[in-house]
Amino acid sequence: MSTFSQFSMTDPCSPISMMLSKFHDRALMVFILVVTIVGYALLFLLRNTYTHRFTLEAQQIETVWTILPGITLLFLAIPSLHLLYLMDEMKSPMFTLKVVGHQWYWSYEYSDFHKALTFDSYMLLDPDLPKGGFRLLDVDNRAILPYKTELRLLITSADVIHSWAIPAASIKIDAIPGRLNQIGLSFSRPGVYYGQCSELCGANHSFMPIVIEVISPSSFISWANASP
């Protein structure tokens, strides 16, 4: 999760979030280059205003500053479209986790096992927080997922529109009543990842956090077998 005075993006925890982070760095470098060139050009023209005040046209310069922005946009558009298609790709998921938004908590359903696992996840109040817990972010029941495993998430809502978001995994998907949205997910390392509902859903909108605990596949199987 992000920390105070952190200027960079949240540390990525999935292949897609890693690629998005690299794309962000590439786009930032292009942005800095463009701002530097344009700023230098403006200062140069302002300094030489009286020298070139009778210049009416410059075909070569106009050609260059039309072609260069087009090439620059290609450097941004191609990897951007590639990432958009990858985010919609879903190949051979190992199992499905269904997420249901309520006012104001989340329900999780693991329905692909021999015994379906279903539980609700409520925010912990301040007196119930464990030592070192995060206020307004910790929950009583975390969603447990394995890492290095292709997963499928099905998201819907039981009442109003919610939005299930995990910034570290670069995931934000709407939970809409009467409709199932799906997205692929794969974590590259273990850890505990926090998120919150990102759609204004009522008075207690800010009190329905999301916590995902990512563990090894063997530990996940043991947890699934031990769950009531």
Q: Rounded to 5 degrees, what angle do the CA atoms 121, 127, 132 make? A: 80
DSSP single-letter state for residue 140 = S
Picking from 88, 118, 134, the residue at the C-terminal end of a domain is 88
Tell me: do 115 and 149 sit in the same domain. Answer: yes
Kindly report the pTM of this predicted structure: 0.80
Establish if 1 belongs to a structural domain.
no
Instruction: Render pLDDT for 81-125 as a digit per residue (tens, 0 to 9).
Output: 888 888 887 778 888 999 999 999 999 999 888 777 889 999 998
Picking from 65, 88, 111, the residue at the C-terminal end of a domain is 88
Distance, CA of 144 to CA of 121 (rounded, Å): 12
What does the pLDDT average to over 210-227? 89
Mean pLDDT of the chain: 86
The amino acid present at 121, given as its one-letter code, is S
Considering only CA atoms, give the Rg of the chain. Answer: 24
**For residue 195, is pLDDT > 80?**
yes
Query: Is residue 137 within 8 Å of 223, Cβ to Cβ?
Result: no
What does the pLDDT average to over 127-148? 88
- Provide the pLDDT for residue 53: 61
Number of domains in the chain: 2
**For residue 54, is pLDDT > 70?**
no
Establish if 51 belongs to a structural domain.
yes
> Which range marks the domain in which residue 66 is found?
15-88
- CATH value at residue 104: 2.60.40.420
Establish if 192 belongs to a structural domain.
yes
Tell me: do 110 and 145 sit in the same domain. Answer: yes
Tell me: do 55 and 124 sit in the same domain. Answer: no
